[in-house]
Amino acid sequence: RKAINFSNTIEYKLDPAVIPAPGSIGEENVLAVANDISGNVYFSFQNADGVPRGIRRWDAENETVALYLPSRIDWTSLKVGPDGLLYGARNIFGIYRETANGTIDNNPFAVGNSGEGYIDMDFDPDHNLWAVGNNENIFKINITTGTVDRFPFDADLRAVRYYDGKLYMGGRFDDGTEDGSLEIWTMDVSNGQASNPQQFLNISDV
């Protein structure tokens, strides 16, 4: 009793886990999000009617948002590349890149095969761009030449990240049920090659 009178004081503050981007509008829909090495955030958005309006840039230092690129595309993924340019995927067989004249959605610089769809993507330290989607392969895109290499991996993938020598890929896998199994898999990446697929986590079992 009254032990609080003999206790130390510890001061701390709580920061909100979620905050609105400065200048954003509540009725707008944010789609793909990316960030650069300076901490600036880029995000594509739709208006309240679901019409794509472009890509905004959130200045991390000044806490301001401005239209970065106009765009008519619903982007599924954005990434800032090692060249400082913005890359985009939109669930078709092409990867788009920011151009010198301030556009991103005219023509893809890398084109795959008809029927393929690139939904998410990420860079590795060797500047290879890895893309995934609902396909029989994962894809490595050479950002210098635009060539596409394929590595067998049959799944309905929705996310990919590179970390510490591995690709982490999340999506639905065929397990004989109607909806499939939600899982995360890894593949080893070395010298631009992806191999050794391993299940990392079966989310459906949790």
Residue 79 reports pLDDT greater than 70: yes
Query: What is the rounded CA–CA span in Å between residue 159 and residue 121?
Result: 7
Q: What percent of the chain has pLDDT over 90?
A: 76
The reported pLDDT for the residue numbered 23 is: 67
What pLDDT score was predicted for residue 116? 97
C-alpha 104, offset from chain centre:
16
**Between the CA of residue 52 and those of 27, 46, 70, 76, what are the distances in Å?**
13, 4, 9, 12
One-letter-per-residue 3-state SS of 139-168 = EEEECCCCCEEEEEEEEEEEEEEEECCEEE
Q: What is the pLDDT of residues 164-193, one digit of tens each?
A: 999 999 999 988 888 889 999 999 999 999
Count of CA atoms in the C-beta half-sphere (13 A) of 42: 24
Position of tokens 């994962």?
Answer: 138
In percent, the amount of the chain with pLDDT more than 70 equals 99
CB-CB contact of 89 with 131 (8 Å) = yes
Instruction: State pLDDT tens for residues 87-146.
Output: 999 999 999 999 988 888 889 999 999 999 999 999 999 999 999 999 999 999 999 999
